[in-house]
Amino acid sequence: MQVRQLAGALGAEISGVDLTRGVSAALASALREVFLLHQVIVLRGQPLTADGFMRFAQAMGTPVEYPFVKGIAGHPHIIEVKKLAHETVNFGGIWHSDTTYLAQPPMGSMLLAREVPPYGGDTLFASQYAAYEALSDTMKRLLQGLRGISTSAKADVSKTREDRLKSDGKKDGPRSHTSSHPVVRTHPETGRKALFVNIAHTAGIEGLTDAESAPLLAFLFAHQVKPEFTCRVVWEPHTLTFWDNRCVQHNPVNDYHGHQRLMHRITLQGDTPI
């Protein structure tokens, strides 16, 4: 197994691994170590079946269902993340951490590229370790103890789900979710601190009025995705990317109108942020 770092803040591309041959306990441990260190791992040339994709996910954690979109046939934990050629809005096309509006947001998410456009459709990732560590000591003290209110109903992110809800939405699911989490969370495995707010889902801060929380959140939203905190993944067919939702945000770039992009996604169970 070879590891090539993608950027200064986060990201690593792993080669020399063939997941179609299965995932041994030793390989799973080695991949997990790179994942925790680099926060985002990329494995290219992995033509996995749905069953093979699920086996890899189960070696990394416990798959859970996405709350709004139903899974593919025979695999309720695998959803399609797609933008069709005639569509103009892409799924989740805004900086975010996945489903922070749940009481236990995911540990991680993984995407497997099935169809990619001839150009564009890259995904940006931002390290929330790096974003937190770059703050002043005074700002860190200010944020300690604050809790952000996350909702699935913010207008910008709701719009990015509309096409998929029409075609693949769950008919019996709840209309919205709301939870509160620490603005700064401590990673349960590494012990490092990370910012845990995001522009897609964080609507306010507990105990503050909207007028009081808005400027603080606006600063954090701009700060936490500065270029020096990011890496960029260029997709190819059969590329698998796995990121740590506890300390990483992502943003799929919507620059391929007129072309189709299809990914399979699995989300892994997380814990209650502290």
For position 68, what pLDDT does the model report?
Answer: 81
For position 138, what pLDDT does the model report?
Answer: 98
Under 8 Å CB-to-CB from 153, ≥6 apart: which residues? 175, 176, 178
- Options 96, 164, 185, 264, the catalytic residue: 96
In angstroms, the CA 126 to CA 124 distance is 7
In a domain, 220, yes or no: yes
DSSP letter for each residue of 127-177: EHHHHHHTS-HHHHHHHTT-EEEEETT-HHHHHHHHHHHHHHB-TTS-S--
Q: Which residues span the domain enclosing 220?
A: 2-268
What is the value of pTM for the model shown?
0.93
For position 232, what pLDDT does the model report?
Answer: 98
For position 91, what pLDDT does the model report?
Answer: 87
- Options 77, 185, 246, 250, the catalytic residue: 250
Q: What tokens were used for 30?
A: 């080695």
In a domain, 156, yes or no: yes
Taken as a whole, the chain contains a residue count of 274
In a domain, 73, yes or no: yes
For position 166, what pLDDT does the model report?
Answer: 65
For position 139, what pLDDT does the model report?
Answer: 98
Could you confirm whether 265 is annotated as catalytic?
A: yes
In a domain, 172, yes or no: yes
- Options 77, 177, 201, 265, the catalytic residue: 265
SS3 of residue 187 by DSSP: coil
CATH of the domain at 51: 3.60.130.10
- Options 98, 163, 168, 244, the catalytic residue: 98
In a domain, 274, yes or no: no
Could you confirm whether 147 is annotated as catalytic?
A: no
For position 164, what pLDDT does the model report?
Answer: 57
For position 69, what pLDDT does the model report?
Answer: 87
For position 177, what pLDDT does the model report?
Answer: 92
Domain count, the chain: 1
Could you confirm whether 181 is annotated as catalytic?
A: no
Per-residue pLDDT for the chain (274 aa), expressed as one digit of tens each? 999 999 999 999 999 999 999 999 999 999 999 999 999 999 999 999 999 999 999 999 999 999 888 999 999 999 999 999 999 999 889 999 999 999 999 999 999 999 999 999 999 999 999 999 999 999 999 999 999 999 998 866 656 656 655 666 656 655 789 999 999 999 999 999 999 999 999 999 999 999 999 999 999 999 999 999 999 999 999 999 999 999 999 999 999 999 999 999 999 999 999 9
In angstroms, the CA 126 to CA 4 distance is 18
In a domain, 168, yes or no: yes
In a domain, 100, yes or no: yes
In a domain, 273, yes or no: no
For position 67, what pLDDT does the model report?
Answer: 86
Could you confirm whether 98 is annotated as catalytic?
A: yes
